[in-house]
Chain A
């Protein structure tokens, strides 16, 4: 699986958009970009995933660049409950496809 690079930490004011970047310059054509988050001591929570088109769901939007070498997770209106570690993961799909977690980005949402 391709490796990812994320900033170790970011701050965001409550109510503002949080934009979390991820670099995955060695991604291959059949690898998806997945985002998970982990609130302190809980299990990781699935947020969103995509292949090459931008994706949106009730939690977030995922913007993938045209060359697929980077992506941005957007939380449109961050709240204090969005404070967590966010993991960007690139993986092949399929039944034997593990998730390889890096160190993620610690997002701190403040008043």
Chain B
């Protein structure tokens, strides 16, 4: 049973460019959450997708957007990249309503984004 997968593993971009990161959830999971982890800090919640809609959003600007596909996979898009967007981007999946009240999130290995 494959866990959460993310691609690419590493990415280097320059300021002003746009980037798309991809996530495939764990089998049986229909909810995907995205987190940003700057160096030396804990992960910060960006947003969560369920039934192809953004359900909750953290304190991130509109440059950060996402999408969920019918197969539950998800993309994170960041426009007009800034140096401060350099971070580890983590995707987490969970069973959502199917998981009942204990909606445990499982994380992928992350995508390391470097903005030069």
Q: A residues near B, CB below 8 A?
A: 32, 34, 36, 41-46, 49, 87, 93-104
Contacts and interface: CB of A to CB of B under 8 A. Distances in A.
26 contacts: A36-B107, A43-B4, A43-B107, A44-B107, A45-B107, A46-B107, A49-B102, A93-B100, A93-B101, A94-B101, A95-B31, A95-B48, A95-B50, A95-B55, A95-B97, A96-B55, A96-B56, A98-B58, A99-B43, A99-B92, A99-B105, A100-B45, A101-B35, A101-B42, A102-B42, A103-B41
B58 A44 contact: no
Nearest to B47: A98
Contact of A97 (B42, B58, B103): B103
Given A95-B96, A96-B56, A44 B50 contact: no
Contacts of A45: 107
Given A44-B107, A103-B41, A98 B90 contact: no
Given A44-B107, A95-B31, A99-B92, A32 B102 contact: yes
A43 B42 contact: no
B42 A49 contact: no
Contacts of B45: 98-100
Nearest to A94: B103
Given A99-B45, A101-B42, A42 B110 contact: yes
A44 B103 contact: no
A105 B43 CA distance: 14
Contact of A98 (B48, B97, B102): B48
Given A94-B103, A95-B96, A101-B35, 18 more contacts: A36-B107, A41-B110, A41-B112, A43-B90, A44-B43, A45-B107, A46-B106, A46-B107, A93-B102, A94-B101, A95-B48, A95-B55, A95-B103, A97-B103, A98-B56, A99-B35, A103-B41, A104-B42
Interface in B5-32: 31
A42 B109 contact: yes
